[in-house]
Structure 1
């Protein structure tokens, strides 16, 4: 068979790139969804019968005889699906043909698994020197933890994030979204694009190695500096900021709200707006360092001032003065937020035969670009016939 190049999508910044996606559950699918949202064509390769493990994780939408995972649905839009068993010679032949036409292969098996299947980086690079391989794993392809399994909760704990989250004096608390997986998916998408840019210069692909634990360490930002400069191990401090005050949750008449006065000038304006100008003259609060030291005292005084009016009043008043602030939204509130709606950050797609669900859109927007078009997460093996014909391996007619 002649070497082929799979037909690429023509729209989007990554239009022209074809991704073969061996990933499952969350970190890998999140990476490939980002690439798909940006215009790459993503062909998801799943195990026959079972498919991606995420297809069996709830919540589920019941659609007649079919039960569809909303979990899977949320991170697999804009992809095609073909079911292949890479231990079966016939299916390996299809997979090899896919690789001939691909630019990028993404996998999130435990290190060594893809090599045992005959697709190590060395083998792939020899056969397809332009191919970019991205491997996402718990601990990366090297190091003493290389072969250990990991989930989001494991790397949140081992990477220090868990030790920083929760109420002051309380127990560490998991971040409410799977930041271990999501961060790895985002860093992998960045790495893939960097490797593609390099390939434009060199003509040669790279192996992108992303470990979930590494990504958690990369998110520690100022906690690393505080550990070394202060000589104290950072611990949970609730919603407030460790180095800026006032910067956190405060209680108004009807609900909690966020106020973030990030410098001395904002603090003065905040005090004026609250009818508490005397706080600016209090020796405890004149500097940010003092406000941080006496943060508990200041919070009591700000809460007392805010208690006279509802959140809506304070948001309007503080925003006019250029003081960053916001309501404490739950997920339902976010879905109805006018700014979220205006930015197109919710995409409604069909799930099953009779229902539609909103999913979070890609937050990367481009000036003057038309609205992105999205397809729902694919059914298992949905695109087999079309793909086999495109690969020249099936003589049956394409499905309309």
Structure 2
């Protein structure tokens, strides 16, 4: 590790990228938080993940586990904690608090995802830490945010989906709502936090003053409900499950084919005419029942004319054949299973599958969706073993000697 005492920077040798030199303290667990800090690490920041020595991030035990001889590690944990340094530190102990405050003085960013008030009870809330470092960007991710009547409620991803409105909209008409099939509350909150952090960091660099970035899972999910809000505020229409349909655009949804399903979105007059010609029936584009976009938007017309026509066309071909036929001309995409996505040449060309060492083996996992033209593609480092970088960080950044480290270990602080 390289330390610049004047700028309070610490960087890992060999790391580059647009955030090189930025130091992040990651006091988070599970996904809402670790994913945010991982994105910063992927872009070159030095991220120090801080875990309690006896109560670490419990996703270390989440499947799938990678076994290599006597070594075992969680690929789930690695996917959200790669490229980080690992420090074990008991923030409830006085010695741990002292060390943490010293780390804060060297840091640019802190990310935490405790329930609001927890860090304050530890004496490590923003008001205390900004005294140590006025430039600190303090990012707090929680279920319901730091303000409002529900701020102290515990929250998980499902809490965000439930209270943000998304759960009530997902599923099929006439059936019970269905949660979105991924932890979209955790992931979207992490993405918004990363955006807020970078904005606050820019402000801190310009004015020398940090601030709190407050992101709630409920807010993040609510922002993903698309047209549901204005449909209600304008027309008092409450969004309900639509299955694979769009509330007003047609044809725009899932259609069966010879070996599965495709998404087809050729609802404009231009795309509709191209599609009709592509399937050898150009006259369908001028059929007076469906010759305009407005006519095709009609639910009954879509059900009785458009959908049967598309089903007849698509049923003759496989997903791959339909994608080739559509090419760059029509919005038609195969609905792919995860194994098909992982094998997709385009996904791989975009660097969305990367090798990350886990338990001594290279495991393929998600890459970073953000592509920067000026950033070189780097090899991804592993997620840290609990406390593996205690000496590197505490000796090089804070100047502790071997005797001090030994004492801290004996007392269970690290």
TM-score range, shorter chain: over 0.9
Separation (CA, whole Å) in 2 of partners of 1:272 and 1:121: 63
Asked if 1 retains the 8 angstrom alpha-carbon contact of 2:9 and 2:21, the reply is no
Unaligned stretches of 5+ residues in structure 1: none
Local SS of the residue matching 1:204: coil
Residue 267 of structure 1: CA displacement? 1.1
Residue 382 of structure 1: CA displacement? 0.8
Structure 2 counterpart of 1:370? 376
Structure 1 counterpart of 2:91? 86
1:266 aligned residue (265, 271, 287): 271
Asked if 2 retains the 8 angstrom alpha-carbon contact of 1:3 and 1:101, the reply is no
Name the CA shift for 1:271/1:226 in 2 (closer, same or farther; >3 Å).
Answer: farther
How many pairs were matched up? 395
State the TM-score, normalized to the length of structure 2.
0.90
Asked if 2 retains the 8 angstrom alpha-carbon contact of 1:68 and 1:351, the reply is yes
2:78 pairs with 1:68: no
Local SS of the residue matching 1:7: strand
1:102 aligned residue (104, 107, 121): 107
Asked if 2 retains the 8 angstrom alpha-carbon contact of 1:19 and 1:42, the reply is yes
Deviates more, 1:343-352 or 1:366-375: 366-375
State the TM-score, normalized to the length of structure 1.
0.93
Residue 345 of structure 1: CA displacement? 1.0
Structure 2 counterpart of 1:305? 313
Asked if 2 retains the 8 angstrom alpha-carbon contact of 1:27 and 1:185, the reply is yes
Separation (CA, whole Å) in 2 of partners of 1:312 and 1:64: 41
Residue 170 of structure 1: CA displacement? 2.6
Structure 2 counterpart of 1:338? 345
Separation (CA, whole Å) in 2 of partners of 1:243 and 1:394: 67
Residue 363 of structure 1: CA displacement? 1.3
Structure 2 counterpart of 1:5? 8
Name the CA shift for 1:291/1:228 in 2 (closer, same or farther; >3 Å).
Answer: farther
Asked if 2 retains the 8 angstrom alpha-carbon contact of 1:138 and 1:151, the reply is yes
Residue 72 of structure 1: CA displacement? 0.9
Residue 88 of structure 1: CA displacement? 1.4
2:205 pairs with 1:200: yes
Once the two structures are superposed, what CA deviation does each residue of 1:165-189 show, in whole Å capped at 9, x if it has no partner? 1223332111111000000000000
Runs of 4 or more above 4 Å deviation: none
Asked if 2 retains the 8 angstrom alpha-carbon contact of 1:273 and 1:317, the reply is yes
Asked if 2 retains the 8 angstrom alpha-carbon contact of 1:274 and 1:306, the reply is no
Once the two structures are superposed, what CA deviation does each residue of 1:257-279 show, in whole Å capped at 9, x if it has no partner? 11111421111111221233343
Name the CA shift for 1:171/1:285 in 2 (closer, same or farther; >3 Å).
Answer: farther
Structure 2 counterpart of 1:325? 332
Separation (CA, whole Å) in 2 of partners of 1:103 and 1:234: 42
Structure 2 counterpart of 1:235? 240
What RMSD in Å do the two structures reach over aligned CA positions? 2.1
